[in-house]
Every structure is written in C-alpha cells, then in structure tokens.
Amino acid sequence: MAMEMKGKRVLVTGATNGIGKQAALELAKMGAEVVIVGRDEIKTRKVRDELQTLGGNSNIDLLVADLSSMDEVRRIADEFRAKYSRLDVLLNNAGAVFSQFQLSADGYEMTFALNHLSYYLLTHLLLDTITQTAQQEGEARIINVSSSAHRNATLRLGNLRDESGYSFMNSYGASKLMNVLFTFELARRLADTTVAVNAVHPGLVDTGFGHNTGRLWSPLIKVAQKLFAISPERGAETLVYLAAAAEVSGVSGKYWNEKEQKRSSDNSYDRQLQQQLWEFSAEATGVG
C-alpha cells in the first residue's frame, strides 16, 4: 500500500540507528520533510547525509541533543520552533537500557529521564506547533515507542533518585509502562482536537539495543536477538504505518503491534496511575 507524506514534516528522536533510523528513511522515501534527533553530532550528520542519499530526499534536517537532559530537550525544542512552524508527526523513539544505576543531569534515574521524561517534555514543548498543524491541515500525530516489557512492570515514582534495589530490567519495563500511561492520558487530554496519540510495541528488533548491559546480560541479549529478533525494517513498519496511513487517521489512545491494535497491560489503563505519572512529570519538568 503506497503512503504519501509529501510536504508533511516529521520529527524522529533516536534516529541514528535501529528502528528510528529505518522509520526516518521510509518516511523520507514517501516525501516527508524529516528532522532527525541524535546525541552524537558527527554520527547524526553522517546519518542525515545517508538518509538524503538513500531516501532520494534532500529535505532532511538534524538536531543534536542528549535527551536525558531537560535543558537539552528545551534547547532543541527552541531550535525546532525557531526554524519551523509545522509538525505533522512527532515520533518519540529515543531510549536505552542502563546496566548500572546512573543519575541524569537533572538528578533522576537515567532510564526514567531518557525513556519517559524526554517524551513528556519534548511533546509538551512542541504541542502548540502540533495542535496548530492539526487545525490547519486537519490532523497531526504523536507516536510513542513503548515495548511489551511494560507488561510485567510496576510504577514506583518514589525511588527515581535512589540506587538501592536498582534493576535495569525493572527500570526499563517501568519506563515502557510510563510510555503507555502517558500516551493514554495525553490522548484523553487531546480528545477535542484532531491530534492522534498512539503507543507502539515494535517487537524484539535486531539492533545494538541492550548491548551495553555488562558481561552477564549483554551476550544473552545478543543471542536472543539473533535467534528471535526481527529486522529493523520490519520493526519500523508499525511506526511508519501510524505516521502515514490514511486508515488510522483519527485513531487515538491505542497500543499497537504489527499494525494492529492490541490490549496493553491491565495497569496501563489505570486512570489514577496515568494522572499520578502526569502530575509527577509536570512537577519534574515544570510544564503540563
């Protein structure tokens, strides 16, 4: 099915490798004006050039930031708004797993800072642009990359600065639950607009993700990826589908896998949890 994105602007975080890079490429091939976000300037420029060549599309721009830092998120949001007045699709994809406990520049556990707070803050800082685009163009879309790892997770907002009992798998799962909770709460708050908000489980994808988890876990993750993982091309399919497909226009507040709506974990539908996370995030970032 051919999908057309000519003239539409898309912002993709975590776009220098894996499914983010692949989604940016596919959308560029469809004619979208793509802005990629990466942490390393040299690598991000290299990927920008590669996407321009492979996508046959010169309208690829870049922003460089460490999205675990709120100041960095604010800076690239300012840079985007200074340059562009239109944003049709925001694809929040940047994320990582951290084998050791780390604090972000703002004093929060790093998985929470990068995998959730960056989604929350960047989305809020660009929301006026997104909603204005939706008013002018009829719709806009926000896509939050989550994971099935959210299914066994619990939300513990009280220990995001505390190293005791740290488990990188628990922290990662909790951050992916936050992605779904945030998606559902934001979708409800935007229900009277034509901005659609959806969450995605891309599947176990064969990328470099999780290869920094130490001597015990890193080899196991690599073996699992080789045995069971899908390609980045396939992993990006649902992201591209939600960004571009006409048949999902107006569909919001859903959790997706393999281009189908799925039921997420029971606790992801807990309104109290959704609001609790929203209020915590609003206090942490000073927006919302």
Residue type, position 30, single letter: M
Note whether 88 and 249 are within 8 A (CB): no
Tokens of 94: 């940047």
Phi and psi angles of residue 168, each rounded to the nearest 5 degrees, phi first = -65, -30
Residue with tokens 């190293």: 163
Per the rule left: phi > 0, alpha: psi between -120 and 50, beta: everything else, 260 is: beta
Beta strands in 6-130, from DSSP E residues, in sequence order? 9-13, 33-38, 60-64, 89-92
Residues 6 or more apart from 204 whose CB is under 8 A from it?
A: 224, 225, 228, 229, 230
Assess whether 172 carries a catalytic annotation: yes
Q: Helix axis angle, 18-29 relative to 237-244, nearest 10°? A: 40
CA distances from 157 to 32, 105, 160 (A): 38, 18, 6
Q: Which of 119, 120, 172, 241 is catalytic?
A: 172
**DSSP category for residue 196:** E
Residue type, position 121, single letter: L
CA distances from 70 to 42, 144, 169, 176, 205 (A): 22, 18, 24, 19, 28
CA distances from 154 to 103, 183, 186 (A): 20, 17, 20
Active site residues: 172
